[in-house]
Amino acid sequence: MRPVAWQRGRVAASARLRSAFVQLGVTFPQIEIGSDIGVVREYAQAAEELGFDYLLAYDHVLGAGRGTRPDWTGPYDSSSLFHEPFTLFSWLAAVAPGLSLVTGVIILPQRQTALVAKQAAQVDLLCGGRFRLGVGLGWNDVEYEALGEPFTNRGRRADEQIALLRQLWTTEHVTFEGRYHKVTDAGINPLPPQRPIPIWVGGLSDAAIERVGRLGDGWFPMGKPSERNGARIERFRQVAESEGRDPAAIGIDARVEFGTGGEADWQATAEAWRQLGATHVGVNTMNAGLKGAEHIDAIRRFREAMA
């Protein structure tokens, strides 16, 4: 694998960075923006006005209480504020109609597949066919328990869910019988503008990377543009080719962490992701000591650096 930009030093190439990516996005600062709906509106509208293409939001339905779990090691708990993505997006489609909307990621196996299909189709309709459904398996068994779904077989169920989602988005009357799902001559109405809605996959495990190659329209990498992530990209492309799919058609939506360095660092990271084949890059302003509306100034700074 050829050396990438992060191995060759910083790159002062902001002018070509913007044109090199299909889209430039923001990661909605779920746990830090707060519950003031005016600030949420202002943030989304600022992202739109600054010329960002899309807004990506994380998903957690429940947070675990640490009081009864002294050994809890998860990054989120019951004190972590999460706006629910589907309902949030339904509102943002009206207040910031220029933004595409992305879940990064919905924890798919803890949700009913037909309901996800219905909700995603509605969001796609409201935002004019500019929705991407990012899906993952999650790590929080507390959520699975509360939502009444098994945790241990979530990978196998997710594969079947993806197949069923695509049928529900493209066919008026679906008959489907799998290992975990049964639909008898039924369908959602209205169908989404995109048929099917793109499904992007998150995760770093070998199984997740192979799922990208077999089933995904794109991948959400985590961490830095490293040699290890480069190897993951090569692997899902190999899997895609073996499945008769076009590896070049699978997108890559990477993050740049606002809190790690300044403009030159952001530019270098974005360029390194581009060298690895990223088609999308978004800025994550969480974990940088910011609160509420401070995230608006942060995405403005990032956008100027990418201009």
Domain ranges of the chain: 5-159+199-305
Helix (H) or strand (E) segment spanning residue 32: helix 30-33
Please say if the pLDDT value at position 240 is more than 60.
Answer: yes
Please say if the pLDDT value at position 5 is more than 80.
Answer: no
The third-level CATH classification (topology) of the domain covering 5-159+199-305 is TIM Barrel (3.20.20)
Q: Compute CA 70 distance to the chain's CA centroid, rounded to the nearest angstrom.
A: 30
Q: What average pLDDT score do residues 14-26 get?
A: 64
Confidence category of residue 13, pLDDT binned at 50, 70, 90: very low
Which amino acid is residue 51, in one-letter code?
G
Average pLDDT, the chain: 93
Please say if the pLDDT value at position 2 is more than 60.
Answer: no
Q: For position 21, what pLDDT does the model report?
A: 59
Nearest by Cα to 262 from 40, 25, 14: 14
